[in-house]
Amino acid sequence: MKADLRRTIRAARSGRVATPDFAQRVLARIPAGSRVCCYVALPAEPPTTALIEALLERGDEVYLPVAGAALEWVLAADSAPWRAWGLPGVGPCEAPRVQPDPDVIVVPALAVDPAGRRLGQGGGYYDRFVPQHPHARTIALLWSGEVLPDVAAEPHDITVDEWVLADG
């Protein structure tokens, strides 16, 4: 059921465009001076470039994920050219991996339900990382129509504290 739901949502994401104030709406939910783990959006995901730039400009510590056997993190300030990650042939730089203790974790999601149960991409990276940081606030970024009555959550699936719609 989850695989079918993921396929349906991914197919509907093509061509979506965030509102001009999207990054500022997310930024407003993150206290200044935070340590923030934030994914680097791939095509069709709610965009994170402007958010990451705004967090860095504001002086927050921003950590970007590198997926291997588990999520590893690099400090965004050490990770140029992170803006090109996800483009064909471009991956994470060789910045040193660090152990962040985040205040906020901005998580990718395909959907959430009203209780905050999250449908992720299927790799389980955030389902393993987030529980290691129970004090961290979690924010999912979604497109409109991705808050569903039920996401077929399983016991290992994380819940998020809140979500922000990129286009609404």
| pLDDT digits 0-9 by tens, 34-61 | 999 999 998 899 999 999 999 999 999 9
Residue 26 has pLDDT above 70, yes or no: yes
Residue 127: left if φ>0, alpha if ψ -120 to 50, beta else—which one?
alpha
CB-facing half-sphere around the CA of 164: CA atoms within 13 A: 24
- Tell me how far the alpha carbon of residue 82 is from its chain's centroid: 15
The CATH number linked to 73 is 3.40.50.10420
For position 91, what pLDDT does the model report? 55
Q: What is the mean pLDDT of residues 121-144?
A: 95
Q: Which residues contact 132 (CB under 8 A, 6 or more apart)?
A: none
How does the average pLDDT of the chain come out, rounded? 90
Q: What is the mean pLDDT of residues 142-152?
A: 95
Provide the percentage of residues in the chain whose pLDDT is more than 70. 89
Range of the domain at 45: 2-165
Tell me the per-residue pLDDT of 106-124, one tens digit each, with 9 for 90 and over.
Answer: 999 999 999 999 999 888 9
Q: What is the mean pLDDT of residues 140-149?
A: 97
Q: Which residues contact 15 (CB under 8 A, 6 or more apart)?
A: none
Contact predicate 122/67, CB 8 Å: no
Q: pLDDT band for 17, please (50, 70, 90 cuts).
A: very high
* 98 compared with 127, residue with greater pLDDT: 127
Q: Give the count of domains, the chain.
A: 1
Residue 90 has pLDDT above 50, yes or no: no
Residue 125 has pLDDT above 50, yes or no: yes
pTM of the model: 0.91
> In whole angstroms, what is the distance from residue 78 CA to residue 87 CA?
19
Tell me the per-residue pLDDT of 62-78, one tens digit each, with 9 for 90 and over.
Answer: 999 988 788 888 888 76
Q: What is the mean pLDDT of residues 91-118?
A: 88
